[in-house]
Each structure stands twice: as C-alpha cells, then as structure tokens.
Amino acid sequence: MLNKNIRDFREDNDLTQKTIAKVLNVDRTAYVKYENGKLEFPHQIINELADYYNTSTDFLYGRTRETKPYP
C-alpha cells in the first residue's frame, strides 16, 4: 500500500521519479526500486517525502485519507 500511495501521490503532483530522487538525494534507480517494492523505503525517506509533499506519514502509509499534516 505504501509504494502505491507514494507513486500515486507523486503522479498526482505531476512529478517524475528523477525529480523526487533528486529531492531525496538518492539515485534514481534506487528510488524506482523503492516505488516498485524491490527495496523497502527507509523511515527517513518516508519522513522526507511527507515533509516534501506537506502531508503526514500516516497518509503515505494509507492509514488515513486526510492529506493535511498534523498540526
């Protein structure tokens, strides 16, 4: 669920894997493996993605439908 949510959120924001990989300071091939589920997302990367997208980690994990971050 995590990988699909992150991919969908990236696509909904019209961003490429290359762009997000650069934001996270990781190689694009590594990011592709994260999205495809071949590598597990490190918690630090999840936190960075939540900050970048201005959402919560719970949203990225599919635990809530609320996209707004916690106050």
**Is 42 among the domain residues?**
yes
**The domain that contains 20 carries what CATH number?**
1.10.260.40
48, 60 in Cβ contact below 8 A? no
Q: CA 16 → CA 7, 68, 70, distances in Å?
A: 10, 22, 26
**Is 43 among the domain residues?**
yes
| pLDDT tens sequence for the chain (71 residues) | 788 889 998 999 999 999 999 999 999 999 999 999 999 999 999 999 999 999 999 999 989 988 888 87
Q: Domain tally for the chain?
A: 1
Which range marks the domain in which residue 56 is found? 2-60
CB burial string 34-71: b at 16+ within 10 A, e below: bbeeeeebeeebbebbbeebebbbebbeeeeeeeeeee
